[in-house]
């Protein structure tokens, strides 16, 4: 649009991508958000210093704080977002429920008011009936939210929600409402101008959540029919008109499996998942926010809003899915995203990557763990999911733990593919924590074939090393045995004119020839090519005598042997990892908020030992067994690395 941009940044973000991309950048303070990004005066000073005419608040921090646009207006600076009155009515979740009730919008039963203390919280929860949701009034992004199924969980959840709300939003008010069992999260995107025109841009489904934070979104929703979509959209518009809304905003609903729906809250800002709406409607929401803020009229009418195809977005987070999704920080040693492309008549699939990091950059513990958003669009839901699965197989992140293995496994999950979703999907499908898919069936064959072909290529490469004795009569072994954990795959590999072929050996018989083709070179983190003309992308990382592969949710170490090597490998004893049951280790890099026990104290299983904060989330570390605390090696305020020793049992 030809608009010059100014970035603001804290000490933690001095090398961030947005700072690099902006025309100008202004430093605004130390890493804690309460001392930098949440300080209105510092943002104002940056505007005045650079002569900025307008401010886009982004997704978080001050984006839903009424005082921010008020302060900007007084300084003669335009806020790229809704007017302060609409923000006050909708941005505060308590006030928004009152406004929704007045606009005849379906609302969830609950206590519309501020909770005074934990005793008050328990009393209200018992009146509403368990389970209940404790939510920060100024919250968002899953921060300051807790579900309670009994009195004890209300007491702890109330304090945790208030504490997280205070540190994330500078506002510790919380409220309580009924938690709908087996719900779906469906939201309507609205867009309004300053001339009274408001439209809705269809819906998004965001039911794949963890700890109340969205992980995967799609548009449209597989739940809705046209009649429900229209009814939900019209209620969202009625609510927006009731408060004079004039920007992009999102009206969130909790929906039952029977397509009943209730107003949840309104986000008076751009949503993280806005790209899926952009791809199904063809409208650029950020551009429209800027044009509306400049006073332009909407040129799009409700009848102009179309629903074109299907879009899926995965949020790539810096967290370890194998360790209960604990945050991960550190340097991005390697960071390669899938190739972006716009769909055309030949191939209608679109691949889009919105990211804020780069290879060599740091993931800090101070802010949200979002690394990137991977978005795909195709004519049908099935095609969009298939495109997402292929793109995830190309998404390489090394140096930190990340959730790409989980996302890749989700794309293969039958229930997800069928669209039978709820906000408890992850808890129901992986109740004991996430585990990668087993190497079996066609994915195992694909991995084994690529492992054998790579080993064959490397052997060919070694034969070209100069100084070797000529060996015209030597016959090289073509047979390979690939060990994939509990299973073995036997193959024969052969160089052909147009690539390398493989035969799978099953029951001692050679199967049909399968051709592999790829331009892969040693050192590349992703093998991209084809097997029998089917496009394949597989992530790989070298390990002794093989590779660690990630493909379609399968994460496995593949060891490649000659037949006689495999015989020896089968009888090698496995060495178990040693880990003391007496040690309490820090499960993620983070800041110690409290040590809740003393040396010599007797504790029971489940009792709180310490609280560690990472990426704006407070994580309670509990005793896994009864015992006596022998040593405490950490203290409040310590910054700990992952697996750092916190305390030991006697």
Identify whether 265 is a catalytic site residue.
yes
Please state, as a whole number, how many other Cβ atoms lie within 10 Å of the Cβ of residue 182: 12
Separation of alpha carbons 368 and 363, rounded Å: 10
DSSP-derived letter for residue 614 is E
Name which of 632, 623, 631, 629 is nearest 601 in CA terms.
629
Residues 6+ apart with CB under 8 A from 77: 44, 47, 52, 53, 54, 55
Residues 6+ apart with CB under 8 A from 23: 4, 5, 6
Paired tokens of 180: 């709908």
What's the CA angle centered on 219, arms 214 and 220, to 5 degrees? 125
Separation of alpha carbons 36 and 26, rounded Å: 11
Answer whether the bond into residue 220 is a cis peptide, omega within 30°. Answer: yes
Starting at the earlier edge strand, list the strands of the sheet with 213-219. 261-267, 248-255, 184-192, 198-210, 213-219, 310-317, 370-378, 350-355
Q: Are strands 78-79 and 54-55 parallel, antiparallel or unpaired?
A: parallel
Reduce the DSSP state of residue 643 to 3 states and report it: coil
DSSP-derived letter for residue 240 is H
Judge contact between 411 and 385, C-beta under 8 A.
yes
Q: How far apart are the first and last CA of the chain?
A: 65
Q: Which residue in 187, 265, 278, 490 is the catalytic one? A: 265
Separation of alpha carbons 383 and 378, rounded Å: 6
Residues in the chain: 650
Paired tokens of 499: 């690539």
| Active site positions, annotated | 265
């Amino acid at each position: 649009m030809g608009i010059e941009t100014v970035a603001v940044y804290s000490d933690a973000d001095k090398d961030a991508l947005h700072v690099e991309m902006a025309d100008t950048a202004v430093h605004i303070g130390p890493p804690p958000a309460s001392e930098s990004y949440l300080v209105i005066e510092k943002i104002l000073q940056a505007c005045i210093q650079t002569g900025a005419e307008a401010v886009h608040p982004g997704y978080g921090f001050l984006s839903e704080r009424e005082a921010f646009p008020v302060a900007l207006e007084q300084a003669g600076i335009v806020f790229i977002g809704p007017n302060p009155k609409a923000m006050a009515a909708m941005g505060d979740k308590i006030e928004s429920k009152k406004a929704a009730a007045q606009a005849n919008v379906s609302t969830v039963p609950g206590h519309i008011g501020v909770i005074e203390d934990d005793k008050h919280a328990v009393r209200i929860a018992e009146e509403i009936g368990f389970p209940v949701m404790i939510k920060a009034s100024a919250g968002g992004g899953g921060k300051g939210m807790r579900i309670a199924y009994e009195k004890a969980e209300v007491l702890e959840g109330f304090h945790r929600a208030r504490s997280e709300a205070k540190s994330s939003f500078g506002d510790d008010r919380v409220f309580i409402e009924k938690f709908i069992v087996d719900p779906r999260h469906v939201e309507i995107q609205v867009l309004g101008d300053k001339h009274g025109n408001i439209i809705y841009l269809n819906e998004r489904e965001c039911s794949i959540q963890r700890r109340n934070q969205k992980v995967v979104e799609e548009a449209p929703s597989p739940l809705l029919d046209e009649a429900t979509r229209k009814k939900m959209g019209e209620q969202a518009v009625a609510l927006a008109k009731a408060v004079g809304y004039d920007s992009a905003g999102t009206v969130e609903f909790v929906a039952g499996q029977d397509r009943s729906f209730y107003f949840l809250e309104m986000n008076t800002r751009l949503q993280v998942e806005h790209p899926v709406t952009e791809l199904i409607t063809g409208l650029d929401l950020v551009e429209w926010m800027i044009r509306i803020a400049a006073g332009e009229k909407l040129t799009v009418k409700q009848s102009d809003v179309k629903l074109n195809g299907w879009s899926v977005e995965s949020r790539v987070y810096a967290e370890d899915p194998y360790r209960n999704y604990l945050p991960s920080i550190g340097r991005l040693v390697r960071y390669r995203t899938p190739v972006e492309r716009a769909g055309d008549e030949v191939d209608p699939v679109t691949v889009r990557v919105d990211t804020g990091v780069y290879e060599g950059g740091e993931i800090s513990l101070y802010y949200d763990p979002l690394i990137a958003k991977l978005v795909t669009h195709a004519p049908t839901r099935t095609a969009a999911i298939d495109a997402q699965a292929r793109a995830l197989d190309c998404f390489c992140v090394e140096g930190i733990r990340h959730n790409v293995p989980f996302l890749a496994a989700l794309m293969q999950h039958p229930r997800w593919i069928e669209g039978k979703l709820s906000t408890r999907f992850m808890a129901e499908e992986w109740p004991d924590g996430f585990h990668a898919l087993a190497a079996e069936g066609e994915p195992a064959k694909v991995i084994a074939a690529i492992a054998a072909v790579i080993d064959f290529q490397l052997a060919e490469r070694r034969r070209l090393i100069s100084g070797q004795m000529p060996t015209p009569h030597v016959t090289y072994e073509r047979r390979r045995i690939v060990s994939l954990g509990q299973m073995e795959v036997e193959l024969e590999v052969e160089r052909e004119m147009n690539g390398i072929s493989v035969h799978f050996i099953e029951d001692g018989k050679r199967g049909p020839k399968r051709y592999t083709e790829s331009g892969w070179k040693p050192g590349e983190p992703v093998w991209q090519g084809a097997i029998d003309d089917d496009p394949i992308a597989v992530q790989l990382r070298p390990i002794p005598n093989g590779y660690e592969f990630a493909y379609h949710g399968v994460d496995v170490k593949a060891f490649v042997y000659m037949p006689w090597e495999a015989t020896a490998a089968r009888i090698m004893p496995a060495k178990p990892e040693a880990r003391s049951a007496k040690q309490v280790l820090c499960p993620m890099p983070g800041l110690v908020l409290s040590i809740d026990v003393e040396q010599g104290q007797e504790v029971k299983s489940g009792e709180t030992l310490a609280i560690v904060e990472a990426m704006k989330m407070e994580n309670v570390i509990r005793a896994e067994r009864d015992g006596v605390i022998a040593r405490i090696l950490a203290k409040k305020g310590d910054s700990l690395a992952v697996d750092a020793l916190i305390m030991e049992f006697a």
